[in-house]
Each structure stands twice: as structure tokens, then as C-alpha cells.
Amino acid sequence: MRSLNVVSDARPATLPCPRCGWPVLWATTARGKRAPFDPDPVPTRAGFRLEPGRAGELRARFTRAPALMPLHVSHFATCLPLVRDGARARTRG
């Protein structure tokens, strides 16, 4: 399978995050759940490879690497309203 971490002419379409408005890519995880991912990969040792699946959908595969490599990050970890609200919920309870 071809990974989206490889430079390509065609980029998948992004949609705005409903909470922060930042562009996100939607992909299906190994458990069959749809999840948002930041569109630009970042150098990390643990993240997601986004690969084309059937019917044009993206599939997300969690990857651990021995060295830094460009991988996608879940938008759940970078969405400021979600991070802020999650921190509030943890301190209340």
C-alpha cells in the first residue's frame, strides 16, 4: 500500500474541525472508528500512517518507529478546545 507520508501530487481533502475550525483529515482506525488527524505529518517515533483504503477512504495505522519519521498525529491530541476541556474535566473529578 502507498502511504500518504510519501510526497504526492494528490492530497486528500480536508474538512474543518467542528470545535476549532482547523483542517483535519478523517480516517478509519483499525477498530473501525472514524477519527480526525492533523493533515501534515510531524517527525515523531509514534503516530499514524494514513493510507488509501477502499472507495477513497483513508485508513489509519498506528506505528512505532525506532527513529524519528514523519507520521500523522490524532487531532484529538492537538485540538485546543478538546485539550482545554479535557484538562478541566480531569481537574474536577
Q: What is the DSSP string of 71-88?
A: EB-BGGGT-HHHHHHHHH
The pLDDT of 12-29, averaged and rounded, is 92
* pLDDT tens string 41-77: 999 999 999 999 887 789 999 999 999 999 999 999 9
d(CA 45, CA 54): 27
pLDDT value, residue 17:
93
The pLDDT of 1-14, averaged and rounded, is 55
